[in-house]
């Protein structure tokens, strides 16, 4: 048994000297995770398929990080579904960075294939099941599962050499329970009068994340690598009023979450505060799955 550290809140939650990697860093929650890790003192490797200019801008405007704090942020463009590209990133790109000393302590598998309700036309992505095929389901599995596994594969090698680490896989309430498809009936309008459904590919992939976490947690426990799932609920992102009303009515707390309400859970799972937590699913959904 390791020697006990002095028990203080600062020690428990500090990430000073840690190196963290976040996929899907440009996303609505990715920016929160990156900001949380930076605030706690970590160096952050921010990965996204798209350009990361928007991430830096968001961190300055929305989360008030200054240029000194952002010196700990290192952004890269990467398609996590491409096995050779991911391998090259870990074997070549990172090793050529002067600030990177071969240490990785935290991986947040946040990248996901999802379209926010209200921010885009959902008629294709949310088409009914009978109209879907393999080409509709496969992208969910490639990003949420294959991409996540490739990132874990590259990360655990570094974590093993470092004596351990923390991996956080992001699921969804729809990985725990089935979507209430009646919720999406609120989006039917005279201009868009056909039924839409939350895609089954999303539910399957997010459900699989839970057992992926349990498998990896037991596989790497002896290496000091903890693996957990964070399950967020619906995040308000300027969604249509009708959707927000129906979602809120189904949630015990009576509202959707704000983006920043997952920062505490991420910090907990990333830090020594959760040193005896692995194989778990931390649900932060306003009570959605409680009834």
Element (H, E) at 43: strand 43-48
Q: Which residues are catalytic?
A: 202
- CA separation for the pair 246, 241 (Å, rounded): 9
Residue 180 token pair: 């209430």
- DSSP code at position 185: G
* Coil, helix or strand at residue 235: strand
Buried b (16+ CB within 10 A) or exposed e, 17-37: ebbbbbbbbbbebbbbbbbbb
Residue 96 token pair: 């050529």
- CA separation for the pair 184, 240 (Å, rounded): 11
User: Is residue 174 within 8 Å of residue 116, measured between CB atoms?
Assistant: no
- CA separation for the pair 38, 115 (Å, rounded): 27
CA of 40: how far to CAs of 16, 17, 102, 238, in Å?
7, 10, 20, 29
Residue carrying the six token digits 């899907």 = 24
């Amino acid at each position: 048994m390791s020697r006990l550290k002095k028990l203080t809140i600062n020690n428990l939650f500090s990430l000073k000297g840690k190196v963290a990697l976040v996929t899907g860093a440009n996303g609505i929650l990715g920016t929160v995770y990156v900001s949380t890790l930076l605030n706690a003192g970590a160096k952050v490797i921010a990965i996204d398929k798209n350009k990361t200019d928007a991430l830096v801008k968001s961190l300055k405007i929305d989360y008030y990080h200054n240029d000194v704090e952002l010196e700990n942020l290192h952004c890269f463009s990467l398609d996590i579904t491409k096995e050779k590209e991911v391998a090259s990133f870990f074997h070549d790109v990172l090793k050529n960075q002067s600030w990177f000393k071969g240490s990785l302590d935290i991986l947040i598998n946040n990248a996901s294939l999802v379209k926010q309700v209200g921010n885009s036309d959902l008629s294709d992505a949310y088409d009914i099941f009978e109209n879907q095929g393999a080409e509709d389901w496969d992208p969910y599995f490639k990003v949420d599962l294959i991409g996540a596994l490739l990132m874990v594969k590259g990360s655990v090698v570094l974590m093993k050499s470092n004596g351990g680490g923390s991996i956080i896989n992001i699921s969804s309430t729809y990985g725990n329970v089935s979507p209430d498809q009646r919720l999406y009936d609120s989006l039917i309008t005279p201009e868009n009068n056909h039924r839409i459904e939350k895609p089954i590919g999303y539910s399957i992939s997010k459900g699989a994340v839970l057992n992926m976490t349990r498998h990896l947690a037991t596989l790497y426990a002896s290496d000091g690598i903890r693996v957990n799932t964070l399950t967020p609920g619906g995040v308000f992102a300027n969604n249509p009023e009708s959707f927000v009303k129906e979602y809120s009515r189904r949630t015990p707390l009576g509202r959707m979450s704000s983006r920043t309400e997952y920062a505490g859970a991420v910090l907990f799972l990333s830090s020594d505060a959760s040193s005896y937590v692995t194989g778990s699913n931390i649900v932060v959904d306003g009570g959605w799955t409680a009834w």
